[in-house]
């Protein structure tokens, strides 16, 4: 079951790298290529959203079916395993949130960069016309 978390982690990492490359100043020569690559990858990365929802439901199901372990009702090893399971669920929930937020930011930044490029082209055409 760890494979889906690895895939989600790599997807979030790729989103973060593309977001970083789009927002770093000084890459104007590569900007058009980065915009094209990012726009082409936005549709495949959209599959991250339902995948995250599926994983979130998995976390919820595991939380609901997890046996409760109070301080006095279980052995120390069971209590430790229970706490470890809770921490893993919290970590995975943070990974889901990060992947969704990074996708939203990547989509927003890409659309803003495309609009800026279009406005710059329009400005250049108006300057050349005058």
Over residues 42-54, the pLDDT tens digits come to: 888 888 889 899 8
At residue 127, the 3 state secondary structure works out as helix
pTM of the model: 0.82
107 part of a folded domain: yes
Task: Please give the structure tokens belonging to residue 30.
Answer: 């590569």
* Cα separation values, 80 from 7, 41, 43, 58, Å: 27, 42, 42, 21
78 part of a folded domain: no
CA 13 to chain centre: 7
Confidence of residue 71 (pLDDT cuts 50, 70, 90): low
Express each pLDDT in 87-106 by its tens digit.
888 989 999 999 999 999 99
27 part of a folded domain: yes
Please give the pLDDT value at position 1: 59
96 part of a folded domain: yes
70 part of a folded domain: no
The number of domains in the chain is 1
Query: How many CA atoms within 13 Å lie on the side-chain side of 98?
Result: 17
94 part of a folded domain: yes
74 part of a folded domain: no
CA 6 to chain centre: 13
69 part of a folded domain: no
Please give the pLDDT value at position 76: 79
**How far apart are the C-alpha atoms of 50 and 14, rounded to whole Å?**
18
Could you list the residue range(s) of the whole structural domain that residue 96 is in?
2-64+83-128
């Amino acid at each position: 079951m760890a494979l889906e978390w690895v895939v989600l982690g790599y997807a979030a990492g790729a989103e973060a790298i593309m977001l970083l490359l789009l927002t770093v100043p000084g890459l104007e020569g590569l900007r058009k290529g980065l915009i094209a690559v990012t726009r082409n990858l936005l549709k495949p990365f959209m599959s991250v959203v339902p995948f995250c929802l599926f994983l979130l439901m998995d976390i919820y199901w595991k939380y609901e079916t997890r046996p409760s372990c109070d301080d006095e009702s279980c052995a120390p090893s069971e209590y430790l395993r229970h706490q470890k399971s809770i921490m893993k669920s919290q970590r995975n929930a943070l990974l889901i949130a990060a992947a969704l937020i990074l996708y939203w930011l990547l989509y927003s930044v890409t659309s803003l960069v495309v609009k800026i490029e279009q406005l710059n082209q329009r400005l250049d055409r108006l300057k050349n016309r005058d």
